């Protein structure tokens, strides 16, 4: 059996699901004031001084602090059925189906949120490693449990959950520098839809 690791945003989807979920789950007022609070960081990101990992952490704090967990979980479930299907990359979905038909273990490894990814992955019979929001007293704190699942953390969590030597081969699919550490674990690497030749 092989292990097939897939990034989610811009790999399984053709656009950023996290941005879509922020718009879906937040009121216009919350979007406005939250946007103002992270504006300096967004400017820094566009200028190349701040990376996407730092932006995600601050966006989660601004967007989801004190958000009732039951409400956000409902939003996540609705988002997974109403919005996510329209964001899918059909070519990547076929690659997932091909792996599943071969009996491979398929895993989504994402920096996006479990509050909606968990529903989609359950529907597709796919394992999930991703960001999880912290809950206290029935509300989200805006903090990420165990930190952000990006860059080296992706590779770390994969290795914590799976013994790579147990698999015949490891395949990895990604689209950005956020996926480089995950791709480095694989025997077969696919970056932005193209296979990268791995030197022996």
pLDDT of residue 181: 98
DSSP readout, 66-121?
TEEHHHHHHHHHHHHHHTGGGGB-HHHHHHHHHHHHTT-EEEEEEEEEHHHHHHHH
pLDDT of residue 200: 58
Q: What is the pTM of this model?
A: 0.93
pLDDT of residue 46: 82
Query: What burial class does residue 75 get, using C-beta atoms within 10 Å of its C-beta: 0-12 exposed, 13-18 middle, 19+ buried?
Result: middle
Classify the C-alpha dihedral 82-113-149-56 as positive or negative: positive
pLDDT of residue 41: 72
* Tens-level pLDDT at each residue, the chain (200 residues): 999 999 999 999 999 999 999 999 998 888 877 777 777 877 877 888 888 889 899 999 999 999 999 999 999 999 999 999 999 999 999 999 999 999 999 999 999 999 999 999 999 999 999 999 999 999 999 999 999 999 999 999 999 999 999 999 999 999 999 999 999 999 999 999 999 987 65
CB atoms within 10 A of CB 4: 26
Task: Quickly name the fold that domain 3-196 has.
Answer: Rossmann fold (3.40.50)
Q: At what angle do helices 17-25 and 114-124 cross, to 10 degrees?
A: 120
Contact 37, 62 (CB under 8 A): yes
pLDDT of residue 22: 95
pLDDT of residue 199: 67
Q: How do the domains of the chain map onto residue ranges?
A: 3-196
Beta bridge partners of 171: 4, 188
Contact 92, 42 (CB under 8 A): no
CA 115/CA 121 separation, integer angstroms = 11
CA 142/CA 72 separation, integer angstroms = 12
Residue found under tokens 């704190």: 141
pLDDT of residue 56: 92
């Amino acid at each position: 059996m092989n292990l097939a690791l897939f990034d989610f945003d811009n790999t399984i989807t053709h656009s950023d699901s996290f941005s879509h979920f922020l718009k879906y789950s937040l009121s216009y007022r919350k979007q406005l004031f939250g946007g103002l609070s992270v504006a300096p960081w967004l400017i820094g990101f566009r200028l190349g001084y701040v990376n996407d990992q730092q932006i995600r952490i601050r966006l989660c704090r601004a967007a989801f602090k004190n958000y009732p967990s039951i409400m956000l979980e409902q939003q996540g479930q609705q988002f997974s059925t109403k919005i996510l299907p329209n964001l899918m990359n059909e070519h990547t979905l076929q690659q997932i189906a091909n792996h599943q038909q071969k009996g491979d273990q398929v895993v989504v490894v994402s920096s996006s949120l479990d509050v909606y990814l968990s529903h989609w992955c359950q529907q597709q019979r796919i394992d999930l490693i991703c960001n999880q929001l912290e809950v206290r007293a029935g509300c989200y704190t805006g903090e990420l449990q165990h930190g952000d699942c990006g860059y080296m953390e992706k590779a770390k969590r994969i290795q914590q959950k799976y013994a790579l030597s147990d698999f015949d081969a490891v395949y990895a699919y990604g689209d950005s520098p956020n996926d480089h550490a995950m791709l480095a674990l694989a025997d077969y690497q696919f970056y932005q839809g193209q296979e990268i030749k791995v030197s022996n």
